[in-house]
Amino acid sequence: MNKVKRIGRSFKTIKGIFKLGSLQSVITISFAAITMIAMLVIGIVFYSSFSDNARESATESTTQIMTQAKLNLEYYLGTMVEISDLIEDNMALFTAGNTDKIADILSLTREIRQDIESITLYSDTGAILLAEPDLKFDRNLVPTREDWFTYAAANPFDYVFQPPHVQRIYEDLRPWVVTLSRSMVLDLTEGRRNYIAVVDMNFSGIEEVCSQVELGHRGYIYVVDDSGKIIYHPQQQLIYAGLKEENIQRALSNETGSFIEEFNGEEISTVIMGVEPSGWKMVGISYVDEIVRNRRSFNNLIVVILLVGLGFIVVASIYISYKISQPIKRLEYQMNRIERGDFNIENLEVRGEDEVKQLTRSFNVMIRRIKKLMSQIIDEQEAKRKNELKALQAQINPHFLYNTLDSIIWMNENENHEGVSEMTAALAKLFRISLSRGREIITVEEEVEHAVSYLTIQKMRYKNKFTYSINLPEELKNLRTMKLLMQPIIENAIYHGIANIPDEGRIQISVYRKEDTLVYKVSDNGYGIDENQLENILLEDSTSMHSSGVGLKNVNERIKLYYGYDFGVSIESVQEEGTTVYIRIPVRKEESGEKIS
């Protein structure tokens, strides 16, 4: 069960990573992409520099090997040239009739150089003048029809090389040879005479030199003459049979040098060298990957490194992005809960990176503050309701009502009809304003009327034990005010202030404006309040027997809740002299602010 859960979670995580646009996917993808690109660039740079290196060294090693082969080949050809020169040097002997002597020289030469197949000398008509070895000639041989004769005759003094061919000077001897022929012109007493000297060298020596060249496993060299005829090619027969093609024309058209080309997806290095003095060209074909054997394994290494690196990067970037985004995600989850209105959360655990910690802390502080504010609002609302309830009770204080009604009955029995009607009218007014059809806000005029009604009733009940005066400027009458602000104060003044003094009591009410503040000033000449009481009077619920239950504190709190903490009730009192209470509320022309329902 647990396991299933975990798998589910990790699946969720993976899904989370690849949810495009999420923080984690952005981090993962960009991190992986940047690193991959960097690795690729490095890989490509490495590879190309290594590749260039490989090509260079392939060409270099091919050139080195070929140079050796070329020197060997030139040595063979040089030998033929020397023999040809030898004949020329000794032509004087021949023309002097000393044929045996020159035959001896040639015989000796051939003994030293076993790979010389034959040395022959022809007249310009093709007659054989001298031959080493001196064997039976082939009756089918017509020298003037052979390339090696005609080419030499056409190019006097030149060393003319013939590509490998089967020589048929002698009967039943068919050696493969390379032929050097040279036409010499001698000025003799009987006139100018042409001779053709021919040196046949067995091709096996040359073939061996060429075939032993190893340019990797499949590389090879071939040799062509200046007309494109193949001197040597390891697959000469395949070319004749049409099974293989070699781009000989390219080798001919190119000067000596080297180049690299791609063929069938493989890099092929071609090196071309001239072979002196024949005008032949030696062409080396090698496969770069074979010459530089480690290149392919290097390629594979790069690929493996890239793949391993990619895997590592992906894992690392998933991990890193997870580490970064996880705390944020948790925060996001909690915020979502709050967004849905669920404030019932504990403090978030502060962990992760510094920034995230800070964010979490701030978030925690914010949540705490919101919670505090919310509980404060709840408290305030509760207090408001409570106060309203109390104010409501004050509006219909039954005790006061009984007493007043008793007074009315009493006056009626005494047939004080004037008093009855005055008191009843005041009571009616008092209650009308108290109720005010449920409104909390009334005009200042109404508030003052309410106070006057109250004072009227009390004055009658207390048998004119006090007098009162009202000072309400005309311009303040229409301002708005909470209702029943003054009545509790007046009640206090009567019961606690002037009720117990021997002199006539005096209550003065004046309403005035001080800047943006409206002040109800209620002063009496009563007993006064001692300092101890004064300090506590606004804090305690003064629920004395005579109180209507709505004390100074209630008025004070109602003002503060409704108008804010800048407003409220303040008291000045001097013992034996009297008490002045200031009720401050803001000046409001219209009913505004919170509507109390």
Partner 1 sequence: MIVSILASCASKSAVPIGDDLNVRVIVKKQNHDFWAVVELGALAAEREFGINVEYTGPTSEEDIDGQIRMVEAAIEDKVDAIVLAAIDYNLLVPVAEQARDAGIPVLIIDSNINSDRMNSFIGTDNVDAGRVLGQSLVDTMGTDVDIVIVSFVKGAASSNEREQGVMEIIEANENINLIDTLYCNSDEAIAEALTIDMLEKHKELDAFVCLNAYATVGTARGVISKGLEGDVKIIGFDSTPEEISYLEKDIIELVVVQNPFSMGYLGVKYAIEAAYGNTIPGNVNTGAVVITKENMYLPENQKLVFPFVD
Query: Is 151 one of the binding residues for partner 1 (CB under 8 A)?
Result: no
Determine phi and psi for 211, rounding to 5 degrees. -75, -20
SS3 category, 509 = strand
DSSP string, 162-182: EEEEE--SBTT---EEEEEEE
Amino acid at 211: S
Query: Is 204 one of the binding residues for partner 1 (CB under 8 A)?
Result: yes
Compare residues 138 and 388 and give the one whose CB is closer to partner 1.
138
- The site string for partner 1 over 82-121 (x = CB under 8 A, - otherwise) reads ----------------------------------------
Compare residues 57 and 299 and give the one whose CB is closer to partner 1.
299
Query: Is 56 one of the binding residues for partner 1 (CB under 8 A)?
Result: no
Query: Is 364 one of the binding residues for partner 1 (CB under 8 A)?
Result: no
- To partner 1, the closest distance from the beta carbon of 240 in angstroms equals 5
Q: Tell me the H-state helices in 180-267.
A: 203-211, 236-240, 248-253
Compute the distance between CA of residue 386 and CA of residue 409 in angstroms, rounded to an integer.
34
Q: Which of residues 452-471 bind partner 1 (CB under 8 A)?
A: none
For residue 424 the two structure tokens come to: 């009843």
Compute the distance between CA of residue 94 and CA of residue 102 in angstroms, rounded to an integer.
7
Selected binder of partner 1 within 176, 322, 431, 495 (CB under 8 A)? 176
Amino acid at 254: N
Specify the stretch interacting with partner 1 by CB under 8 A; choose among 235-243, 405-413, 414-422, 493-501.
235-243
- To partner 1, the closest distance from the beta carbon of 235 in angstroms equals 5
- To partner 1, the closest distance from the beta carbon of 369 in angstroms equals 53
- To partner 1, the closest distance from the beta carbon of 75 in angstroms equals 19
- To partner 1, the closest distance from the beta carbon of 125 in angstroms equals 21
- To partner 1, the closest distance from the beta carbon of 36 in angstroms equals 12
Compute the distance between CA of residue 112 and CA of residue 185 in angstroms, rounded to an integer.
28
For residue 150 the two structure tokens come to: 């005609």
Compare residues 146 and 491 and give the one whose CB is closer to partner 1.
146
Determine phi and psi for 290, rounding to 5 degrees. -85, -40
Q: For residue 113, what are the contacts with CB-CB under 8 A and spacing of at least 6?
A: 79, 83
- To partner 1, the closest distance from the beta carbon of 106 in angstroms equals 21
DSSP string, 290-357: HHSTHHHHHHHHHHHHHHHHHHHHHHHHHHHHHHHHHHHHHHHHHHHHHHTT-----PPP--SSHHHH
Query: Is 44 one of the binding residues for partner 1 (CB under 8 A)?
Result: no
Compare residues 240 and 402 and give the one whose CB is closer to partner 1.
240
Amino acid at 164: P
Query: Is 241 one of the binding residues for partner 1 (CB under 8 A)?
Result: yes
Compute the distance between CA of residue 9 and CA of residue 123 in angstroms, rounded to an integer.
104
List residues bridging with 55 in a β-sheet. Answer: none
Query: Is 163 one of the binding residues for partner 1 (CB under 8 A)?
Result: yes
Q: Would the CA dihedral through 285, 291, 295, 296 be positive or negative?
A: positive
Specify the stretch interacting with partner 1 by CB under 8 A; choose among 76-84, 196-204, 346-354, 547-555.
196-204
Compute the distance between CA of residue 181 and CA of residue 157 in angstroms, rounded to an integer.
10
Selected binder of partner 1 within 3, 5, 112, 172 (CB under 8 A)? 172
Compare residues 10 and 300 and give the one whose CB is closer to partner 1.
300
Size of the site for partner 1 (CB under 8 A): 35
Compare residues 207 and 447 and give the one whose CB is closer to partner 1.
207
Query: Is 133 one of the binding residues for partner 1 (CB under 8 A)?
Result: no
Query: Is 284 one of the binding residues for partner 1 (CB under 8 A)?
Result: no
- To partner 1, the closest distance from the beta carbon of 189 in angstroms equals 39
Selected binder of partner 1 within 43, 126, 133, 175 (CB under 8 A)? 175
- The site string for partner 1 over 290-319 (x = CB under 8 A, - otherwise) reads ------x--xx--x---x------------
- To partner 1, the closest distance from the beta carbon of 95 in angstroms equals 33
Q: Would the CA dihedral through 470, 473, 478, 479 be positive or negative?
A: negative
Q: Which of 562, 554, 471 lies closest to 520 in space, CA to CA?
A: 471
Query: Is 245 one of the binding residues for partner 1 (CB under 8 A)?
Result: no
Determine phi and psi for 184, rounding to 5 degrees. -120, 140
- To partner 1, the closest distance from the beta carbon of 221 in angstroms equals 13
Compare residues 202 and 321 and give the one whose CB is closer to partner 1.
202
- Judged on CB neighbours under 10 Å (0-12, 13-18, 19+), 560 is middle
Q: Given the structure tokens 């004749």, which residue do they identify? A: 240
Compute the distance between CA of residue 265 and CA of residue 192 in angstroms, rounded to an integer.
61
Q: How far apart are the first and last CA of the chain?
A: 55
CB 430 within 8 A of CB 395: no
Selected binder of partner 1 within 18, 240, 343, 512 (CB under 8 A)? 240
- To partner 1, the closest distance from the beta carbon of 218 in angstroms equals 5
CB 152 within 8 A of CB 181: yes
Compare residues 198 and 489 and give the one whose CB is closer to partner 1.
198
Selected binder of partner 1 within 140, 253, 344, 532 (CB under 8 A)? 140
Task: Check whether the bond before 163 is cis (ω within 30° of 0).
Answer: no
CB 210 within 8 A of CB 191: no
Query: Is 234 one of the binding residues for partner 1 (CB under 8 A)?
Result: yes
* Chain residues in the site for partner 1 (CB under 8 A): 138, 140, 163-166, 168, 172, 174-176, 202-204, 207, 217-218, 220, 229, 234-238, 240-241, 243, 264-266, 296, 299-300, 303, 307
